[in-house]
């Protein structure tokens, strides 16, 4: 059975430790940082054809699961 999906284009993740998340996804998984907006709290990283967008959250917010 073949999948209806050929690839994942973009994944958005909310993170409370913005800088640590950028470092972890780069060092551990191998994503490359493409752009970062410190003021807005967004960063885009990619690996292959998949884009990962990290979004800084307020530390007081509970993560959505």
For 1-50, what is each residue's pLDDT tens digit? 688 888 788 999 999 899 999 999 999 999 999 999 988 899 999 998 89
The rounded radius of gyration (Å) of the Cα atoms in the chain is 13
- Tell me if 55 sits within 8 A of 12, measured CB to CB: yes
Dist. CA 52–CA 3, nearest whole Å? 22
Kind of pairing between the strands at 10-15 and 50-56? parallel
pTM tops 0.85, yes or no: no
Break the chain into its structural domains and give their ranges. Answer: 10-56
Q: Angle CA(17)–CA(42)–CA(34) in degrees, nearest 5?
A: 105
Task: Name residue, tokens 């690996």.
Answer: 47
* Record: fold of 10-56: 2,3-Dihydroxybiphenyl 1,2-Dioxygenase; domain 1 (3.10.180)
């Amino acid at each position: 059975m073949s999948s209806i999906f050929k690839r994942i284009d973009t994944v958005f993740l909310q993170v409370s430790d913005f800088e640590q998340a950028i470092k972890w996804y780069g060092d551990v998984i191998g994503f490359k940082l493409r752009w970062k907006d410190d003021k807005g709290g967004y960063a885009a990283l990619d690996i292959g054809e998949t884009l990962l967008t990290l979004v800084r959250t307020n530390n007081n917010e509970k993560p959505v699961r």
